[in-house]
Structure 1
Amino acid sequence: MRLLVRERLFAVGDDYWIEDADGRKIFLVDGKALRLRDTFELKDTDGRVLVGIRRKLISLRDTMVVQRDGEELATVRRKRLSLLRNHYRVTLVDGTGLDVSGKILDREFAVDYDGELLAQVSRRWLTVRDTYGIDIVREDADVPLLVAVAVCVIALADKEKEEEED
């Protein structure tokens, strides 16, 4: 499944649509404005919340939490001892983990589980500015979770870059 993400920079609340390859709206990333911490909801076209995403206020490293139906599903954080700055770890509630690595700020990275590619995020096959694709490789993958992981990793990397520039 190939998804197209059109980020609108400087949008109030950071809302943007994710479309399928045919241009149909599939998910809305609904950023919640005026919150103390970064908070997003991934909604379907009917407005139902599929997953919630929020930044933890107190943690040693920047961490985002993905929730489904009010229950924690996963945590996303930059790997502690990574030689590569663009390497993130997703810990699922069942104890398993996903690895995210690549050029996050360039929107060129992969999500894998135990060496198996689950999703690829890329701008390479697109020519539109501020747009990237999410290619979900496995048909049995949890698509909302993988989209949420991409949103979390990009939000964490962008925040880290902003802090370095200040």
Structure 2
Amino acid sequence: MYVIRERFFAIGDDFDVLDEHGDKVYRVDGKVFSVRGKVVIEDPSGAEVASVHRQIVALRPTYEIRIGGEKAAEVRKKLFTPFREKFTIDVPGPDDLTMKGDLLDHEYEIELGGQEVAAVSKRWLTIRDTYAVQVAAGVDPLLIIGSVLALDLALDREKDKDEKKEKEQD
């Protein structure tokens, strides 16, 4: 079990990733002025272990996850899925994952071959964005954490677009 919690006084999307004991296992540095929507995942010593960034040239929202400097996955949003968010987590080889969830409840599951390998819950009761992430044994937690961060970046981007449209209509 992991908890991804947005830092309270942070500029950009900065998060701490805690394990089930409440110990910080990763720090997520959201690059404030990054055009590409990039976050860097660092270990407790400050070394980069993974990153997530938006690909600019893509037909649909697409984010690349790099772990240890190597491309680990592309997270792509499905174009038309009414009332549900659905993403493909395209990993090298045949074992792609699917992340799907409810727009209103912000509950997501990540599946491999129809079997749930991770569950994600975004808590609305806190002032800061907080995700609880349960990862099955044998699944790379950095891949799942990176996928959750890609989801967060995509949802923030959609929210920003919606707010911009509302301002233009006023």
TM category (shorter chain) comes to: 0.7 to 0.9
Counterpart mapping for 1:115-130 below 5 A? 115-123=114-122, 128-130=126-128
Question: Hey, what's the Cα distance between the residues in 1 that align with 2:80 and 2:102?
Answer: 17
Residue in structure 2 matched with residue 21 of structure 1 by the alignment: 20
Q: Aligned-pair distance for 1:165?
A: 2.9
Residue in structure 2 matched with residue 70 of structure 1 by the alignment: 69
The size of the alignment, in residue pairs, is: 163
Quick check: 1:149 aligned with 2:147?
yes
Q: Secondary structure at the match of 2:150?
A: helix
1:45-94 C-alpha deviation (Å, 9 max, x unpaired)? 12222211111111111110001233211101111343444111110022
Q: Secondary structure at the match of 2:28?
A: strand
Counterpart mapping for 1:30-45 below 5 A? 30-45=29-44
State the identity as a percent: 29
Question: Hey, what's the Cα distance between the residues in 1 that align with 2:107 and 2:84?
Answer: 14
Structure-2 change in CA distance of 1:85 and 1:162 (3 Å): farther
Q: Aligned-pair distance for 1:18?
A: 0.9
Query: Higher mean Cα deviation, 100-109 or 53-62?
Result: 100-109
Residue in structure 2 matched with residue 59 of structure 1 by the alignment: 58
Q: Secondary structure at the match of 2:153?
A: helix
Structure-2 change in CA distance of 1:127 and 1:83 (3 Å): closer
TM-score calculated relative to the size of structure 2: 0.85
Residue in structure 2 matched with residue 139 of structure 1 by the alignment: 137
Question: Hey, what's the Cα distance between the residues in 2 that align with 1:104 and 1:9?
Answer: 24
TM-score calculated relative to the size of structure 1: 0.87
Q: Aligned-pair distance for 1:127?
A: 5.2
Structure-2 change in CA distance of 1:14 and 1:73 (3 Å): same
Structure-2 change in CA distance of 1:20 and 1:37 (3 Å): same
Q: 1:105 touches 1:158 (CA, 8 Å); kept in 2?
A: no
Question: Hey, what's the Cα distance between the residues in 2 that align with 1:127 and 1:5?
Answer: 14
Q: Over aligned residue pairs, what C-alpha RMSD do you find?
A: 2.1
Question: Hey, what's the Cα distance between the residues in 2 that align with 1:110 and 1:31?
Answer: 24
Q: Secondary structure at the match of 2:44?
A: coil
Q: 1:104 touches 1:157 (CA, 8 Å); kept in 2?
A: no
Q: Secondary structure at the match of 2:39?
A: strand
Which structure 1 segments of 5+ residues have no match? none
Which structure 2 segments of 5+ residues have no match? 165-170
Residue in structure 2 matched with residue 99 of structure 1 by the alignment: 98
Question: Hey, what's the Cα distance between the residues in 2 that align with 1:123 and 1:54?
Answer: 21
